[in-house]
A = this chain, B = another copy of it.
Amino acid sequence: MNTEQVITMLRKNGHKVTPQRIAICEAVLSNKEHPTAEIIFKKISKQHPTISMTTVYHTLDLLKKLELVHEINFDNRVTRYDSNVSVHVNVICQKCGKISDYESEAIQSQWNRIVSAIKIKPVGQRLDAYVICEDCKG
Q: What residues make up the interface of A, taking CB atoms closer than 8 Å to B?
A: 71, 73, 76, 79, 89, 91, 94, 102, 104, 106-107, 110-111, 113-115, 117-118, 120-132
Q: Is the interface of A mostly helix, strand, loop or mixed?
A: mixed
Is there contact, CB below 8 Å, between A114 and B117? Answer: no
Is there contact, CB below 8 Å, between B127 and A127? Answer: yes
Once A79-B76, A126-B128, A131-B120 are accepted as A-B contacts, the answer to whether A89 and B102 lie under 8 Å apart by CB is no
Contacting A104 at CB < 8 Å: which of B110, B117, B132? Answer: B117
Contacting A114 at CB < 8 Å: which of B111, B124, B130, B131? Answer: B111
Is there contact, CB below 8 Å, between B130 and A123? Answer: yes
Contacting A76 at CB < 8 Å: which of B71, B123, B124, B128? Answer: B71
